[in-house]
Structure 1
Amino acid sequence: MKEESPKAIFYALAANFGIAVCKFGAAALTGSGSMFAEAIHSTADCGNQLLLLFGLKRSQAPADVLHPLGSGREIYFYSMLVALLLFFVGGAFSVYEGVHRLARHEELSNPIVALVVLGVSVVLEAFSLAGALREIRKSSGNKSLWRWFRETRESELIVVTGEDVAALAGLAIAFCAVLMTMITGNPVYDAAGSIGVGVLLMVIAYLVAREVKSMIVGESASPEVRRAIDAHLRARPEIIRVINLITLQWGKQIVVAVQAEMVEYDSGRAMVDAINVIEADLQRAFPEARWVFFEPDIPRVGEARA
């Protein structure tokens, strides 16, 4: 998690608040199920962003006896809550609303208003997604969006990006549903649009929840960071061989555990001093490596030296 991440959350909060107000007004004027589903979705998104901001604040709590490594992973809990809300409040409710309107065949009024609001919403959601993508590009390099999604450890940015992608796709579905209803006069398209928006939200929520669950269980640092730490250690003249390297993402910080074969030293004190130098240099090179645990060891019988 990077310090810039809250910017993406604020972009999304501002955009979704404006969108929710417009959508509720349009839903009241038009009676559109797709529009009402979209309004509920945007309202849920506002609550989600507030939860993420609260989670970020909580994750900055200092270490104590009960939480000796701090509360950095607390943001994962709030990210999971957001994913569940996106699934049930956004997705499942939209499906329910669509099925309900499908059974009642409610007519759509003032479809032009709905289309205008949906068009404005697309612009605002695109602004929010652009803000999230700017934050992603700062750390993703040339990765594709999907690869970044699978490898990043910034849970709150995963949630915001997932919401924005779902919102834009959902708006496209709602726009097409309202347009087809206006052209054909058949409200089934509008109801089907609401169901489509709900299914889309549930799929996105599932993908987000799957990634966040992996972080809660305990993920290593991102692959490129782990490779860089490994290369840094192998280049040290004090180390003959890195036997084992474990990294654990802890919010925006990393726990590093190293088991390595060291060169020969005249005394235990000399080896301890060398290890302290290695740890200090590692933390200078990787400031996010808040905790480093180093164990000097020798290869087990049958293990070849690197």
Structure 2
Amino acid sequence: MGFVERVKKGNTSSGVAALGNTFLAGIKGAAAFFSGSGSMFATTMHSLADAVNQGFVFLGSILAQAPPSERFPTGFGRVINIFCMVAVVVVTVMAYETIKEGWHLFQQPSESGNIWLNIGVLAASLLVDGFVLVKAMKEITKETKEDRDGWLLVQAFKSAPKASPATRLVFYEDLVATSGAIFALIGVLLAQIFGMLRADGIFTMLIGVLMLFVAFRVGYDNMVGLIGVSAPAEVEKKISGQLLEEEQVVDIYKMRVLQEGRTYHVEGTVELTKGLSLAEADDVKFELTDKLLRSPEVSDVVLGIIEDNNKKSWE
């Protein structure tokens, strides 16, 4: 697979989000500079952090598709987890700066101007972040092949743990970004229309806290991914069902399914009916391996075979 093909297969949500947040960071930064609004500063920092993060993640999703090599036989699926951890560091630093600025504005509130500029920019932010959020939610349901009945947001929350690390990051970040734009808008209105100047600092700190939530959530998910996490129970059940469908397979002696980025690595030993020749047993093994590898979510299969031991091992 060439580099251009890898770019085309990169995580679409993170690429679109990186472009959208770069645009938003620019217009929000200009609005914050001319108005002096702390809430606008906070949401600018958030969009800037999101743009950097999602750019990193998009690059990581491209590199993660590199084919296995002799030195790295299981492939590069976990590269995306490393890039997501870099993104977590960026979000944490930006969250600290945002909370610090909010505390300063709370202690020393000051008036800001250009209310209509702020409202216009935040309205644009809601449209762009909302579009990216909806795209990320649709990407989650597509990756996890979940039933799309019901509210999209509810389905995305339920399915997010099974989505790819990149899509999860975009979903959580833009969920907070959309909420942050709403909080910033409330802060601007309270400070500039109702004269509640401390509201600017309060909502600035609240946006910073939301950014910390994203850093913790994404950091935890990717730390687990780097260590090596078992596949969801339904994935393991599906793979075991495919193995047990084979007529000569009596039982599964043991099996382990690990998540490697967006795909799964399968290791196991199956019990075959007694009396098979070595050649026949090898044919069954190769047929099972090919069967599992035809599934797009399985990247690597290592199967062993033994004769039936008359003991039930797999429930």
1:18 is aligned, of 17, 23, 27, to 23
Deviations 1:164-219 (A, max 9, x none): 10100111111111111122323211011110100111112211211122111112
Moved more, 104-113 or 134-143: 134-143
Q: Report if the CA contact (8 A) 1:5-1:157 is conserved.
A: no
Deviation at 1:59, TM superposition (A): 1.5
SS in 2 for 1:161: helix
Which ranges in structure 1 are unaligned for 5 or more consecutive residues?
A: none
Name the amino acid aligned to 2:110: E
SS of 2:224's partner is: helix
Tell me the amino acid that sits aligned with residue 157 of structure 2: W
1:84 deviates by: 2.6
Q: Which residue of the partner structure matches residue 57 of structure 1?
A: 62
SS at match of 2:44: helix
SS in 2 for 1:184: coil
Q: Which moved more, 1:32-41 or 1:251-260?
A: 251-260
Q: Whole-Å Cα distance in 2 between the matches of residues 292 and 304 of structure 1?
A: 20
Which of the residues 267, 275, 290 maps onto 1:257?
267
Give the CA deviation at 1:151: 2.8
Distance of 2:190 and 2:201 partners within structure 1: 11
1:266, distance to aligned residue in structure 2 (A): 4.2
Kindly provide the amino acid, as one letter, of the partner of residue 182 in structure 1.
Answer: Q
**Among 252, 263, 266, which residue is 1:242 paired with?**
252
Q: Verify the 8 A CA contact 2:254 2:269 in the aligned structure 1.
A: yes
Aligned runs of 1:146-295 on 2, under 5 Å? 146-152=157-163, 154-284=164-294, 286-295=295-304
Between Structure 1 and Structure 2, how many residues are aligned?
302
Change (3 A) 1:302 1:283: closer
Please list the CA deviations of residues 18-45 of structure 1 after superposition, one character each: whole Å capped at 9, or x if unmatched. Answer: 2111111110111001101111111111
Give TM-score, length-normalised by structure 1: 0.91
Tell me the amino acid that sits aligned with residue 301 of structure 2: V
CA distance 1:281–1:265, shift in 2 (3 Å): farther
Instruction: Provide the rounded CA distance (Å) in 1 between the counterparts of 2:263 and 2:141.
Output: 20
In the alignment, which residue of structure 2 is the partner of 1:67? 72
**Is residue 90 of structure 2 the alignment partner of residue 85 of structure 1?**
yes
Task: Please tell me whether residue 137 in structure 1 is matched to residue 141 in structure 2.
Answer: yes
Q: 1:297 aligns with which of 295, 303, 306?
A: 306
State the superposition RMSD in angstroms: 2.2
| Higher mean C-alpha deviation, range 119-128 or range 142-151 | 142-151
Percent identity reads: 26
Native 8 Å contact 2:111 2:191 kept in 1: no
What amino acid is aligned across from residue 300 of structure 2 in structure 1?
A: W
Q: CA deviation at 1:290?
A: 2.6
Unaligned runs of 5+ in 2: 1-7, 149-154
> In the alignment, is the contact (CA less than 8 A) between 1:34 and 1:194 conserved in 2?
yes
1:42 corresponds to which residue? 47
Q: Deviations over 1:204-245 (max 9, x none)?
A: 221121112211111233433222111111111110011222
Quote the Cα distance in structure 2 between the aligned partners of 1:231 and 1:302: 18
- Alpha-carbon deviation of 1:303? 5.4
SS of corresponding position for 2:270: strand
Tell me the amino acid that sits aligned with residue 246 of structure 1: R
Contact map agreement 1:299 1:305 (CA 8 A) in 2: no
Q: Is the 8 A contact 1:11 1:131 kept in 2?
A: no
